[in-house]
Amino acid sequence: MSVLKLPPYASPLEKAWRVTYLVICAAILLFLIAPILIVIPLSFNAEPYFTFTRKMLSFDPAGYSMRWYDQILTFGMAAPGAPRNASWWLDVWENAKWVEAAQNSVIIGVSATLLATVLGTTAALGLSRPDMPFRRAIMGLLISPMIVPLIITATGLFFFYSETGLAHTYLGIIMAHATLGIPFVIITVTATLVGFDHSLTRAAANLGAPPPLIFFKVILPLILPGVISGALFAFVTSFDEVVVVLFVAGYDQQTLPRQMWNGIREQISPTILAVATILVIFSVALLATVELLRRRSERLRGLSPG
């Protein structure tokens, strides 16, 4: 009974409910994570199917292969059959569709994240000042890209960019993704600023620090955990965004989600599953690393004791 962590006076009904409750929790977690987990074994399928074959189910090694991972590299190459030496890898770097898409995704994601983080942090700082007029209205406006249906934002951007010449440019996609990322940065940084002791900025000014120095030496180090979380959300938003890219990007500006979209429509191949597996592992690693770094810096900065 100790597993249920119930007090000794719990009635049988309470015990029964406790068990039901734990089962429901497990079911919800399974429901959330199953579609992600199922992709992983399927990506090692030896056959070009999206289902488990008889061989896979009987754990026959012949049912599994790395061919779809190989396909990630070779798809789109000029000479995929050539011996795998330096020039073959150069061919991968320059011509493989998936590699090119990954390059674009990283360039766009990193740039959009930087832009969103800088703008979102400054906006959050301004909005946290008590003397800021129309705070709620401005906050609502800045958060709106998160609430407005993406397809509407995308359509609007498409017409706006067509007029201004930003369509089919990297700058256009980066700006669009930054717009989508800014709300996350604003929300996380604002949350961090709630507990911020404003007498620290006064103390810094009193000790002789001009405003820019106060920002970089006192405010920024203290709100850094919020900034990093916001930046992470902004990056992930850009990294898995497909709707705006479909509307705004040119044909040669493939990103990973767009390439996957194309893959589903044009050449139904389990390569997508291999890519998805890599992305899942990448995301988990990214989240874990940032969270560990954030905790470490919080401890070092003395925000939490020990």
**Binding region for another protein (CB under 8 A):** 197, 199-200, 202-211, 213, 217-218, 221-222, 300-303, 305
* Residue 208 Ramachandran class (φ > 0 left, ψ -120 to 50 alpha, else beta): left
Q: How far is the CB of 294 from another protein (least distance, A)?
A: 14
Q: How far is the CB of 291 from another protein (least distance, A)?
A: 19
Q: Are 157 and 183 in contact (CB under 8 A)?
A: no
Amino acid identity, position 73: L
The closest alpha carbon to 219, from 236, 237, 196, 241, belongs to 196
Alpha helical stretches, state H, 75-96: 86-95
Q: How far is the CB of 223 from another protein (least distance, A)?
A: 10
Q: Which is nearer to another protein, 41 or 195 (CB)?
A: 195
Q: Which is nearer to another protein, 16 or 200 (CB)?
A: 200
Q: How far is the CB of 132 from another protein (least distance, A)?
A: 16
Q: Are 116 and 234 in contact (CB under 8 A)?
A: yes
Output the six-digit token pair for 90.
Answer: 């150069």
Cβ neighbours of 280 (radius 10 Å) = 15
Torsion angle, CA of 146/151/157/159, rounded to 10 degrees?
-160
Q: How far is the CB of 198 from another protein (least distance, A)?
A: 9
DSSP letters, 69-102, are: HHHHHHTT-S-TTS-SSHHHHHHHHHH-HHHHHH
Q: Which is nearer to another protein, 129 or 202 (CB)?
A: 202
Q: Which is nearer to another protein, 147 or 194 (CB)?
A: 194
Q: How far is the CB of 300 from another protein (least distance, A)?
A: 8
Q: Which is nearer to another protein, 15 or 217 (CB)?
A: 217
CA distance 223 to 187: 12
Q: Which is nearer to another protein, 152 or 300 (CB)?
A: 300
The closest alpha carbon to 241, from 228, 258, 254, belongs to 258
Amino acid identity, position 235: F
Q: How far is the CB of 206 from another protein (least distance, A)?
A: 5
Query: What are the φ and ψ backbone dihedral angles of 45, each rounded to 5 degrees?
Result: -60, 135
Q: Which is nearer to another protein, 133 or 208 (CB)?
A: 208
Query: What are the φ and ψ backbone dihedral angles of 99, each rounded to 5 degrees?
Result: -65, -40
